[in-house]
Chains A and B, each alone.
Chain A
Amino acid sequence: MPTTAYLAVSAALFAIGVLGVLTRRNAIVIFMCIEMMLNAANLAFVATARHLAETQDPAKAMSGQVFVFFVMTVAAAEVAVGLAIIITLFRNRNTVDVNEVNLLKF
Chain B
Amino acid sequence: MPLALIILLPLCGFLINGLIGRRLPRPVPGIIGCIAVFLAFIVAVTRFLDLAARPEDARSITETAYTWMAVGDFNVQVSLLLDQLSSVMILIITGIGFLIHLYSAGYMAHDHNDPDGVLYARYFSFLNLFIAFMSLLVLADNYLLMFVGWEGVGLCSYFLIGYWFQFDEAAEAAKKAFIVNRIGDFGFLLGIMLIFLTAGALDYETVFSLARDNPTAFDAGVAGALGGIVAITLLLTLGATGKSAQVPLFVWLPDAMAGPTPVSALIHAATMVTAGVYMAARSSALFDLADTTRLIVCGIGALTALAAAITALAHTDIKKVLAYSTVSQLGFMFMAIGSGAYVAAIFHVFTHAFFKACLFLGAGSVIHALHGEQDMRKMGGLATKMKTTNITFLLSGLALAGAAPFAGFFSKDEIIAQTYAASASNSLYYLFAAVALLTAFITAIYTGRQYSMVFLGERRDQQPGITSHESPEAQPEHAAQEIVPQEAVLQTDNAHNAHDVHESPAVMTLPLWVLAAGAVFAGFLGVPHIPGVPAQLHAFADWLDPLFPHAADAAESHVNWALLLMGLVIGWAGWLLGRSLGMNANRAMLPASASRLSLNEVYNQTVVKVGFAITAVLRWIDEKIIDGIVNLVGGFVNQAGAGLRLTQTSFISDYALAMAVGAAIVIFLLAGRFWPL
Within 8 A of A (CB), among B302-356: none
A102, closest chain B residue (CB): B650
Q: How far is the CB of A76 from chain B (nearest CB, A)?
A: 22
Assess whether A104 is in contact with B650, with CB atoms less than 8 Å apart.
Answer: yes
- Rounded to whole angstroms, the CA-CA distance of A83 and B652 in the bound complex is 17
In the assembled complex, B653 has its CB within 8 A of some CB on chain A: yes
Assess whether B660 is in contact with A99, with CB atoms less than 8 Å apart.
Answer: no
- Rounded to whole angstroms, the CA-CA distance of A105 and B648 in the bound complex is 5
In the assembled complex, A13 has its CB within 8 A of some CB on chain B: no
Chain A residues, Cβ within 8 Å of B657? 22
Assess whether A98 is in contact with B649, with CB atoms less than 8 Å apart.
Answer: no
Assess whether A22 is in contact with B648, with CB atoms less than 8 Å apart.
Answer: no
Assess whether A18 is in contact with B660, with CB atoms less than 8 Å apart.
Answer: yes
In the assembled complex, B656 has its CB within 8 A of some CB on chain A: yes
Assess whether A106 is in contact with B648, with CB atoms less than 8 Å apart.
Answer: yes
Q: Mark A79-106, 1 if CB is under 8 A from B, else 0.
A: 0000000000000000000110111111
In the assembled complex, A68 has its CB within 8 A of some CB on chain B: no
Q: Count A-B pairs with CB separation below 8 Å.
A: 32
Q: How far is the CB of A37 from chain B (nearest CB, A)?
A: 10
- Rounded to whole angstroms, the CA-CA distance of A105 and B615 in the bound complex is 48
Chain A residues, Cβ within 8 Å of B660? 18, 21-22
- Rounded to whole angstroms, the CA-CA distance of A21 and B660 in the bound complex is 10
In the assembled complex, B558 has its CB within 8 A of some CB on chain A: no
In the assembled complex, B651 has its CB within 8 A of some CB on chain A: yes
**The residue from A18, A98, A103, A106 contacting B652, defined by CB atoms under 8 A apart:** A98
Chain A residues, Cβ within 8 Å of B499? none
- Rounded to whole angstroms, the CA-CA distance of A18 and B657 in the bound complex is 9
In the assembled complex, A55 has its CB within 8 A of some CB on chain B: no
Chain A residues, Cβ within 8 Å of B652? 30, 98-99, 101
Q: Mark A29-50, 1 if CB is under 8 A from B, else 0.
A: 0100000000000000000000
Assess whether A105 is in contact with B653, with CB atoms less than 8 Å apart.
Answer: no
Q: How far is the CB of B60 from chain A (nearest CB, A)?
A: 77
**The residue from A99, A101, A104, A106 contacting B646, defined by CB atoms under 8 A apart:** A106
Assess whether B650 is in contact with A105, with CB atoms less than 8 Å apart.
Answer: yes
Q: How far is the CB of A38 from chain B (nearest CB, A)?
A: 14
Assess whether A99 is in contact with B651, with CB atoms less than 8 Å apart.
Answer: yes
Q: How far is the CB of A29 from chain B (nearest CB, A)?
A: 12
Assess whether A105 is in contact with B649, with CB atoms less than 8 Å apart.
Answer: yes
Q: How far is the CB of A32 from chain B (nearest CB, A)?
A: 14
In the assembled complex, B54 has its CB within 8 A of some CB on chain A: no
Assess whether B645 is in contact with A22, with CB atoms less than 8 Å apart.
Answer: no
Assess whether A22 is in contact with B656, with CB atoms less than 8 Å apart.
Answer: yes
Assess whether B648 is in contact with A104, with CB atoms less than 8 Å apart.
Answer: yes
Q: If A18-B660, A22-B660 touch, does A106 touch B645 (CB 8 Å cutoff)?
A: yes
Assess whether A23 is in contact with B653, with CB atoms less than 8 Å apart.
Answer: yes
Chain A residues, Cβ within 8 Å of B649? 105-106
Q: How far is the CB of B70 from chain A (nearest CB, A)?
A: 56
Q: How far is the CB of A12 from chain B (nearest CB, A)?
A: 16
Q: Mark B633-652, 1 if CB is under 8 A from A, else 0.
A: 00000000000011011111
Q: How far is the CB of B344 from chain A (nearest CB, A)?
A: 84
B645, closest chain A residue (CB): A106
- Rounded to whole angstroms, the CA-CA distance of A102 and B651 in the bound complex is 7
Assess whether B650 is in contact with A21, with CB atoms less than 8 Å apart.
Answer: no
Chain B residues, Cβ within 8 Å of A102? 650-651
- Rounded to whole angstroms, the CA-CA distance of A18 and B646 in the bound complex is 24
Q: How far is the CB of B174 from chain A (nearest CB, A)?
A: 56
Chain A residues, Cβ within 8 Å of B648? 104-106
Q: Mark B584-602, 1 if CB is under 8 A from A, else 0.
A: 0000000000000000000
Chain B residues, Cβ within 8 Å of A30? 652
Within 8 A of A (CB), among B197-226: none
Chain A residues, Cβ within 8 Å of B645? 106
Chain B residues, Cβ within 8 Å of A22? 653, 656-657, 660
Which of B645, B649, B652, B660: most chain A CB closer than 10 A? B652
Q: Mark B646-675, 1 if CB is under 8 A from A, else 0.
A: 101111110011001000000000000000
Q: How far is the CB of B671 from chain A (nearest CB, A)?
A: 13
Within 8 A of A (CB), among B602-649: 645-646, 648-649
A23, closest chain B residue (CB): B653
- Rounded to whole angstroms, the CA-CA distance of A76 and B414 in the bound complex is 101
A21, closest chain B residue (CB): B656
- Rounded to whole angstroms, the CA-CA distance of A105 and B653 in the bound complex is 14
Chain B residues, Cβ within 8 Å of A104? 648, 650
Q: How far is the CB of A23 from chain B (nearest CB, A)?
A: 7
- Rounded to whole angstroms, the CA-CA distance of A98 and B649 in the bound complex is 12
Chain B residues, Cβ within 8 Å of A105? 648-650
- Rounded to whole angstroms, the CA-CA distance of A103 and B645 in the bound complex is 14
- Rounded to whole angstroms, the CA-CA distance of A101 and B651 in the bound complex is 8
A105, closest chain B residue (CB): B650
Within 8 A of A (CB), among B8-59: none
Within 8 A of B (CB), among A1-33: 18, 21-23, 25, 30
Which of B645, B649, B653: most chain A CB closer than 10 A? B653
A100, closest chain B residue (CB): B650
Chain B residues, Cβ within 8 Å of A21? 653, 656, 660
Q: How far is the CB of B326 from chain A (nearest CB, A)?
A: 73
Q: How far is the CB of A58 from chain B (nearest CB, A)?
A: 20
Q: How far is the CB of A64 from chain B (nearest CB, A)?
A: 15
Q: Can you give 7 A-B contacts (C-beta < 8 A)?
A: A18-B660, A21-B653, A21-B656, A21-B660, A103-B650, A104-B648, A105-B649
With A21-B653, A106-B648 known, 8 other A-B pairs at CB within 8 A are: A22-B653, A98-B651, A99-B651, A101-B650, A102-B650, A102-B651, A104-B648, A105-B649
Q: Which 6 A-B pairs have the closest CB atoms?
A: A102-B650, A105-B650, A98-B652, A106-B645, A105-B648, A106-B648
